[in-house]
Amino acid sequence: MQREQSQHFLGLRTLEDISSIILHSHDLQETLDNIVTIVAKRMGSEVCSIYLLEDDGETLVLKATKGLSKNAVGKIMMKTSEGLSGLVVQTRDMVTTDNAPAHPRYKYFKHSKEERYLSFLGLPLFERKTPIGVIVVQTVAARSFTEVEISILRTITFQISSIVLNAKLLDSIQSKEQERAYYEQELARLKTHRPSDGGREQPETKSKTRALGGTAVSPGFSHGKVYILDRFSDKVIKVAKVGSVEEELHKFRIALEKVTIQTIYMEKRVSELLSEDDASIFHTHLMILEDRGFLNKINDLIDQGVGATRAVHEVVQGYIEVFSAMEDPYLRERSADMEDIGRRIIDVLEGNENDGVKLKEKRVIVAEDIFPSDMAMLDHDKILGIVTEKGNIYSHAAIMAKSLGIPAVVGVKGLLHAANVKDQVIVDGTSGHIYLNPEKQVREEYLRLEKEYTIRLKELEPLRDLPAVTSDGMRILLRANIGLLSDVRTAVANGAEGVGLYRTEFPYMARTTFPNREEQASLYRKILEGFPGQPVNIRTLDIGGDKGLPYFSYPHEDNPFLGWRSIRVSLDEEEIFREQLAGILLAAPAGQATIMFPLISCLDEVRRIRSILNSVVAELCRQGHDVCGGLPMGIMVEVPAAVQIIDRLAAEVDYLSIGTNDLIQYLLAADRNNAKVKQYYEPYHPAVLHAIKRVADVGQRMGKKVSVCGEMAADPLNALLLVGMGVREFSLSAPSIPLVKQALRSHSLRLCQAMARKVLAFDTACDIKRYLAKRRKELFE
Ligand code: PEP
Ligand code: MG
């Protein structure tokens, strides 16, 4: 799964890059050029090209390429009845070959220098159901593309299609604006010649639609009336009245107290509404409000006769300047926290206490920036979308909007200048565009997109509460992989039957110190309460390798994945381990907790873990906690040694969970993050599939549950294959659950078993992939 996961990340990074391309490109051509460059880089291919269909629907034209001769752009044209790219449009399907020149549909174009490339992978681009072009990836070496690569490229095609569509819309809006501007100019010119006008200039007429670009930070579409969020301004500081030093000091003290109470309230509200992670920013605000250095600076200025309002403003401004100059974008964004605090203290000092914006109806919030405190006070049900002039993906508002599922675009230059109170706006949080006062054409396009988006979600919705059961009655459990408290909502919304893998390291990555047992227990409790009556499998810390904690120092290692990671760190740092075990045990009564240990490679580890666990249980019992029953204990099977001795391990634990991400990496000696060896990271390698089969068989024989947690199972076809191999439980990223469930409910266990038999009989990954590609077509298309 490492490869799958690293490729999954690769896919996400590519998608993120493509999103930022939209922001930084100015027209369709530049957008396409940037896309082919990024896709070629990410896919490790020498060539990536995009061909678009002309309006006749029959002629493909090379519009952008990385790798082929740039002179060929606009010149290579082919009918859809010609060439491999034409075949992609004709079949409306993927075309792939590892020897393109030998393919009967191969067509050579002079000047393209294409003959050097043996492998070809082409996927169609669609607008609704109509093909609009083709994206092609080519490599010099003869190679077959993995299922994961294909699925990444497939995802990218959706994004590209919508970019092409958006860019065309923008182009058409721009040309319409130019057209209108031309006619207005002409009209004005004619009017100046009219004697009745006396040659006066006509007032400038503003065109209606304004399309602006920003950073997409929370996906989805929304449209509605603008609500411009007002900010405190420098004006306040200029007019603020100044009393005596004592009066000003007293005013400041009172304001500080009020803001502190306000902040505590906000922290509570956001942690109830969203999660503790989301609320943790207010904890930082409280620390700033108590910071001696910060307070002394303000008090000193007041002592010198400066009014409280100005003193706060000056000190806060100083901090903002320091933060804004930081190179790290995350730290730079922290200047917004200082601004938030400053604004709130000044609001109180000036008697402008903010008890939240009361929206009467649903609106799109438009603001220079939205601070955490705004997000805490706004009525979330009334926010259709969020658009800000400042901010980036690290803004807290962005993070909160994402948690709340509110479409948001930040960093929209010129927003406040362009937007008016009476404007209507469309927010496209997926591509990062907004349209002020959209014209009919744009409005209709977005309404359609919104409708299709809702229909797609709706189609899968009825599945939510149905069990995952094959058509011949085999019950399969589909649980979620989660990392943050905010994932609970997504997991529940997608019908997860509990959690199969809770990665506990994630909540601790953003902290500055290791949380103690009570802090951990309170977080785990919240997760458990999110899944009443359903198991939550808590995995102990899996740090090291590619996951680090900023406050925990590691030795330098030449091979971190073969080094001090995961359970090895826990067993060496027993105090940290005991603290985590205690946290889990203390939280356990809140739900159905089970506890799982990563990277197990021998029985000694299991025995040591059990003895430490027993000792922590005993310690808590002595302290009067009700944890005496202990918890079901499982291990992750992700090291080849564990597969080799799986029967011995199974005898001493309650359940097994196969971590295909790591298992593939260790079985095949191919680093999950190293692009150079990605062709060795092969989920369909017979060694991987036989290892999974072996664990599933042993589990069945010994009555121990076996699940697969890892993105490999997120592909519906893989899920069918794994069911055929005897796996009855999966833990997946939550959004994958509905599709996997749909596949399981539409096919029989017998079919899965026949497919598994066939796959396990093949000798090579290539044979397996060829067979599965055929099955995919038959079963899903
Ligand atoms: C795995 O290795 O398959 C797994 C699920 O764990 P992680 O991806 O967290 O290493
Ligand atoms: Mg792992």
pLDDT tens string 641-687: 999 999 999 999 999 999 998 999 999 999 876 657 878 989 999 99
Is the C-beta atom of 4 inside 6 A of ligand 1? no
Q: What is the pLDDT of residue 779?
A: 93
**Cβ–Cβ under 8 Å, residues 705 and 662:** no
Residue of 3, 509, 542 best suited for mutating to test ligand 1, as the one with most atoms within 8 Å of CB: 542
Residue 212 has pLDDT above 80, yes or no: yes
Tell me the CATH number for domain 470-780: 3.20.20.60
Q: Compute the average pLDDT of residues 278-295.
A: 84
Nearest ligand 1 atom to alpha carbon 665? 2
pTM here? 0.52
Residue nearest to atom 4 of ligand 1 (CA): 659
Q: Check pocket membership of 505 for ligand 1, CB cut-off 6 A.
A: no
Is residue 542 within 6 Å of ligand 1 at its C-beta? yes
Q: Is the pLDDT of residue 715 over 60?
A: yes
Residues 165, 127 contacting (CB under 8 angstroms): yes
Instruction: State the span(s) of the chain assigned CATH 1.10.274.10.
Output: 242-349
Residue range(s) occupied by CATH 3.50.30.10 in the chain = 210-234+357-457
**What's the pLDDT at 4?**
45
The answer to whether the CB of 665 is under 6 A from ligand 1 is no
Where does the pLDDT of residue 554 fall: very low under 50, low under 70, confident under 90, or very high at 90 and above?
A: confident
Angle at 505 between CA 502 and CA 510, to 5 degrees: 125
User: Across the chain, what does the average pLDDT equal?
Assistant: 83
Burial 173-203 (b: 16+ CB within 10 A, else e): beeeeeeeeeeeeeeeeeeeeeeeeeeeeee
At residue 699, φ and ψ (nearest 5 deg) are -60, -45
Which pLDDT belongs to residue 424? Answer: 92
Q: Write out the H or E segment, with its range, that includes residue 779.
A: helix 765-780
Strands (E), 41-172: 47-53, 59-66, 77-79, 95-97, 119-127, 130-139
The answer to whether 524 and 593 have CB atoms below 8 angstroms apart is: yes
| Residue in 129, 121, 126 with CA at minimum distance from that of residue 53 | 126
Choose one of 482, 506, 709 to mutate for the ligand 1 pocket test, by most ligand atoms within 8 angstroms of C-beta: 709
Q: Is residue 566 lining ligand 1, measured as CB closer than 6 Å?
A: no
pLDDT at residue 624, rounded to an integer? 93
Residue located nearest, by CA, to atom 6 of ligand 1: 659
Atom of ligand 1 nearest to the CA of 598: 6
Percent of the chain with pLDDT strictly greater than 70: 82
5 in contact with ligand 1, CB cutoff 6 A? yes
Q: Say which residue, 592 or 463, is predicted with more confidence.
A: 592
Q: 152: Cβ below 6 Å to ligand 1?
A: no
Please write the tens of the pLDDT for every residue from 536-553: 999 999 988 766 676 777
Q: Would you give the DSSP letter of residue 57?
A: S
Which amino acid belongs to residue 290? Answer: E
Q: Give 549 Cα–ligand 2 centroid separation in angstroms.
A: 16
Q: Ligand 1 mean position to 6 CA, how many Å?
A: 11
Predicted confidence at residue 744, as pLDDT, reads 97
Pick the catalytic residue from 223, 709, 747, 752.
709
- pLDDT of 546 reads 64
Residue 63: name the closest of 51, 71, 53 by CA: 51
d(CA 460, CA 381): 24
CATH number of this structure's domain 2-175: 3.30.450.40
What's the rounded mean pLDDT across residues 424-432? 85
Q: Once rounded to an integer, what is the mean pLDDT over residues 91-106?
A: 89
Which ligand lies nearest to the CA atom of residue 503 in the structure?
1
Q: Please give the pLDDT value at position 176.
A: 43
C-alpha 711 – ligand 1 centre gap (Å) = 9
Nearest CA, atom 3, ligand 1: 659
Cα of 534 from ligand 2 centre, angstroms: 23
Residue 711 in contact with ligand 1 by CB distance below 6 A: no
| pLDDT of 366 over the 60 cut | yes
**Over 90: is that where the pLDDT of 607 sits?**
yes
C-alpha angle with apex 370: 322 to 219, nearest 5 degrees? 115
Whether the Cβ atoms of residue 407 and residue 219 lie closer than 8 Å to each other: yes
Confidence of residue 200 (pLDDT cuts 50, 70, 90): very low
Annotate 437-454 with b (16+ C-beta within 10 A) or e (fewer).
bbeeebbebbeebbeeee
| 520-551 burial code (b ≥16 CB/10 A, e <16) | bbebbbbbbebbeebbbbbbbbbbbbebebee
CA distances, 538 to each of 605, 612, 642 (Å): 18, 17, 20
Q: pLDDT, tens digit, for every residue of 245-283?
A: 999 999 999 999 888 888 888 887 777 766 676 777 788
Interval between CA 483 and ligand 1 midpoint (Å): 12
Closest CA to ligand 1's atom 8: 661
Task: Give yes or no: 250 in active site.
Answer: no
Q: What band does 183 get if pLDDT is binned at 50, 70 and 90?
A: very low
| Domain 242-349 falls under CATH 3.20.20.70 | no
Q: What is the CATH number of domain 210-234+357-457?
A: 3.50.30.10
The verdict on whether 685 is a catalytic residue reads no
Mean pLDDT, range 161-165, rounded to an integer: 68
The top-scoring range by mean pLDDT among 95-99, 163-167, 367-371, 688-692 is 688-692
End-to-end CA distance of the chain: 25
SS3 of residue 379 by DSSP: coil
166 within ligand 1 shell (Cβ under 6 A): no
Of the listed ligands, the closest to the CA of 659 is 1
The answer, yes or no, to whether residue 168 has pLDDT greater than 80, is: no
> Nearest bound ligand to CA 4?
1
Closest approach atom of ligand 1 to CA 709? 5
As a whole number, mean pLDDT of residues 431-437 equals: 86
Nearest to 425 by CA among 435, 417, 433, 414: 435
List, for residues 748-761, the tens digit of each pLDDT value.
999 999 999 999 99
Asked if residue 155 has pLDDT above 80, the reply is no
**Which residue among 223, 396, 433, 747 is the active-site one?**
396
Average pLDDT over residues 356-379: 79
> CA angle at residue 102 from 96 to 104, to 5 degrees?
80
**759 Cα–ligand 1 center, Å:** 24
Q: Is the CB of 713 under 6 A from ligand 1?
A: no
Among residues 423, 416, 434, the alpha carbon closest in space to that of 230 is found at 416
Over range 520-547, report the average pLDDT.
91
- Specify the 3-state DSSP secondary structure of 25: coil
Of 296-310, 396-410, 705-719, minimum mean pLDDT range: 396-410
- Distance, CA 642 to ligand 1 centroid (Å)? 15
Residue 634: the pLDDT is 98
